[in-house]
Chains A and B, each alone.
Chain A
Amino acid sequence: MTLHPGRGFAAINYPIGMNLGGDPSQALVHSNPDGKFTVALSSIDLGQGMKSVTRQIAAETLGVPVEDVYVDTADSDTGPHCMGSFASRGTHRVGNAVIQAAKEARAVMMEAAAEELEVNPDDLVTDGKGNIHVKGAPSRSIGTGTACAAAQFKQGKTVSGRGIFLVPLSPVDPETGEMTPVTCFAHAAMVVDIEVDDETGEVSVTQMNSAYELGRALNPKLVEQQLVGGAWMGMSHALWETTEPYYPDRSHGPIDFNDYLMPGPGDIAPHHISILERPAPDGPFGGKGPGEMCANPVLPAVANAVFNAVGVRITDLPITPEKVLRGIRANGGAKPQRRW
């Protein structure tokens, strides 16, 4: 038995948002009398952090502390229409809708503050800590809560805003496939290190190194969650998962987690991630969407690493020990390739 080390590389890009557009999302923002804001959406948090990232986007745009914002989603009676959480569209589409809604609400808050301070609204700025003050004169200030209270109880203004974001639907040419699929792309490159056991055909991932370009990490911890979990899923797709192990034959399909295989906590490998941020011109604060693309480079990188380790090119996923072993035997033994 020999453990053969191997490394594989892959690079990808990923389209952000529903292909061809036509997928609007809306947001409503309003303030309590004391300047605490609610963002109403019908978007879905599947764990990706929709509630959290839209909360930060709203706070940044309104110019208030994040604690002053709460995101309420998803109730079809109160949250305006959203196409849904898929196609990496959440951050990009909903984020932009929230910016528009928050800007409208902010404008009212600033007008109210200007009236209270008896200055021009254009001369006011927010400090992000709950204060509105005159540009260059921090002492002439008013709390965001006081401004919102004044708007509602003295001036009779609703501190609220509406937002929608739509990339209009575009056509596809039947003859050439000419189209405007999306407006921005995320990018990634990855090196996966593995070991292949030439007696069992088993592949173990020993290390992953990756670079992900995702526009802007609106919340670095949420991005880290997506990338670490997504790469795990990519590794799982590459080596373990399928609903039809003998595709296209449908027999022996798993019906529980004893048969549907995924790497457990003992199978994970260290993953070193670098994040690059090239802001998307039409993304919310430049953000793209890291949620889907993070899994994609792992699949081919693992397959390429298996070839590098033992000279077996697996072209049918998943890369089971059986396939690797059959390949090694067909080649008359492991054929390690050039070490990079």
Chain B
Amino acid sequence: MIEFRKDLFRDERDDNLNEIGKPTQRQDMVGHVTGRSPFYDDHAFEGLLHLRCLRSPHHHARLRSIEVRDAERSPGVHRVILAKDVPHNLNTLLSLMGFGLDDEPLISGGKVSYKGEPVAAVVAESERAAYDAIAKIRVSWEVLPHVLDVEDALKPGAVTVNDTYPGNTFTYHDKYDHQKLRFGDVEAAFRQADRVIEGRYQMSPIEQAPTETCGAIAAQENNGRFVCYTSTQALFFSLGTAAKLLNVPSNRLHFIGGTVGGGFGGKVDSLHEPMAILGCMLTGRPVKYMFDRAEEMQVGAPRGAERWYLKDAVGRDGRILGRQLTGYFDAGAYTRLSSYAIHKSTGHLPGPYTIPNVKSDVYCVFTNRTPSTAMRGFGITGVDFAIESHMDVVAHEIGMNPIEFRILNAYRDGDMKAHRRVAKNTALIECCQVVSEKANWPIRDDFRRMASSEGGGVGEAGRVPNYTATDQNGLVDTRNRGIKRRPGDPERPFSMPGTIPPRAEPARQPTPAPTYAGGGPLPGFAPTPGTGVRSEPRPSYAPSTTYSPQPVAPAASVASTQPTPASSAPPTPNRTGPNRFSSSVSGLRRR
């Protein structure tokens, strides 16, 4: 049952468009109902091989040795792939945007930090042959103590999960072990409050559970290129990640996807594409690598668990005077995208309410579990569960109608948000009013008459507080001591996303990294000059050219009343943080 409240915000819309707003049939619907929509696995390949992984049975362990001779001789096996076979075996997903340090191998060779971490891959004629061979690989493990709880991981003496971040936290701005939000003075608010109400909330880890599991098929294409059919949610993200891990120029990879059996955030991690292409490079045959359902559920990255502590200062009239939040994102063993989610989460606080004093500390914590990643509502769903549960607790404690309590504190156009930007285009109040009416949950007349566009930005609500309490807690000098800078890591590795890393050094294996870029192992074509085995440092998949804003020729003037596309001109920043954009290459300098 769906209705459109066209009466609301009517004067802000043109409802007389030709196509927009029409219930046009989906372009892909005929394909879906005839079974002809081409998902990545729906392509025929002659001689398709299958790749399966040997995975760690331990939460945390060191590989003393790995013996693959019997596996290599197993029937139907074409190749056993180990860490040493990966040309550039260390990555972090957001390195494509210059955010964070490389901290995760494609195949682990030294130690494993979660149950399910791959230590070898077998490429064979069938899945069954691959599994038979995997059973013949012998690994000698030195089991290490592990840590699974986010708060335990922060205690002194906790084992180090991820050698790149010895203190078990991602480092923000090369300075703190967490991301801060400071707006006003919550301690003063707690002193003035009529009630101070605290709560603890735990968001569970959740599987994206797309009906199509993650996977990719790679095959040789003409002229030394590789085609990769993939279930990725982000084609160029996966392409860039594969190019980096495999040390091949991006234009030798041809990625095809776009028809995907559900993603919900679980298909961004780009684990399958580089592995399938590597298998293809090493065998010369088409190779498919996909998660089975058990892997999808326990090895594929879930929505990470989050733990939140909330503390509200509430006035006699039901207004929230201050809100303090402490959040722990369980990143699992490696960063993936959790570091990013914390920025997103911090920008979202304290929820859609105007609160004059806000403080939050959010930590990206490493534990010995499957790395977590994006899922529908990434960075927001967990804290919204915490905030809206807590809003209900507070409404109950002060004896207020929960909907009226939300409307009383709702943000409105013109209000100053805790991240110091003015709210606009808000509509929380109207949503509350409509649903109260629909569900027959009555609210007072004065609350029914309020509007998001009215009464906002008045007095202090529209301004940054005169005083904001800041602190230096969580400096990385006192925690996370001994962060490992490797050659090639950005000089300011923890700075803002967008800081463009300098040219990367060659891969950091003790032995020269293998390259398969048209070189020896590939039968069937001659190496393209200049793309064979490299000894020169090469730029990493270069955001400097790929991601910098391109001047776009202005479209010629168009007669008629076509809507103007939103301007992509940079907004004028207000006061901002320390300038971390040092590189003119990036084209992203602050002005």
Contact = CB atoms under 8 A, between A and B. Distances in A.
Contact of A13 (B175, B180, B210, B352): B352
Q: Interface size bucket, B side?
A: 35 or more
B530 interface: no
Interface string A1-44: 00000011111111100011010100000000000000001111
24 contacts: A11-B428, A19-B379, A42-B235, A44-B232, A52-B27, A75-B256, A76-B253, A84-B234, A111-B556, A126-B560, A163-B552, A165-B566, A174-B577, A220-B22, A248-B367, A260-B207, A260-B209, A274-B438, A275-B2, A279-B13, A299-B381, A313-B389, A315-B200, A340-B441
Interface in B100-135: 115
Contacts of A55: 24, 27
Contacts of A164: 549-550, 552, 568
Interface in A272-316: 272-286, 291-293, 295-297, 299-301, 303-304, 307, 313, 315-316
A157 B497 CA distance: 41
A147 interface: no
Given A51-B28, A276-B5, A300 B560 contact: no
B305 A248 contact: yes
A136 interface: no
A11 B565 contact: no
Interface stretch (A137-145, A181-189, A197-205): A181-189
Interface stretch (A148-156, A249-257, A325-333): A249-257
B380 to A, nearest CB: 6
A176 B565 contact: no
B563 interface: yes
B571 A169 contact: no
The 6 A-B residue pairs with the shortest CB-CB distance in the complex, in nearest-first order: A84-B234, A181-B347, A74-B258, A128-B18, A173-B577, A300-B388
Contacts of A296: 377, 380-381, 384-385
B93 to A, nearest CB: 11
A222 interface: yes
Nearest to A67: B24
A247 B332 CA distance: 12
Contact of B430 (A7, A84, A211): A211
Nearest to B267: A46
Contact of A184 (B401, B425, B581): B425
Given A15-B348, A176-B182, A221-B23, A77 B389 contact: no
B463 interface: no
Given A173-B577, A274-B438, 18 more contacts: A46-B260, A46-B263, A86-B233, A86-B234, A99-B563, A100-B565, A104-B555, A175-B182, A182-B347, A187-B430, A218-B20, A220-B23, A230-B376, A247-B305, A279-B9, A282-B566, A301-B388, A315-B201
Interface stretch (B186-194, B277-285, B416-424): B416-424
Contacts of B486: none
A66 B24 contact: yes
B316 interface: no
Contacts of B149: 248
A196 to B, nearest CB: 16
Given A13-B352, A84-B234, A260 B260 contact: no
Contacts of B200: 315
B261 interface: yes
B197 interface: no
A9 B401 CA distance: 10
B234 A59 contact: no
B97 interface: yes
Contacts of A235: none
Contacts of A176: 180-183, 420, 468, 470, 577
B235 A82 contact: yes
B558 interface: yes
B294 interface: yes
A107 interface: yes
B311 interface: no
A56 interface: yes
A195 interface: no
B351 interface: yes
A70 B441 contact: no
Given A43-B258, A85-B263, A250 B435 contact: no
Interface in A53-89: 55-57, 59-61, 63, 65-66, 70-71, 73-77, 79, 81-87
A231 to B, nearest CB: 11
Contacts of B431: 11, 187-189, 211-213, 276
B205 A49 contact: no
Q: Which of A12, A183, A243, A247 has the most CB of B within 10 A?
A: A243
A47 B27 contact: no
A233 to B, nearest CB: 7
A198 B381 CA distance: 28
B294 A255 contact: yes
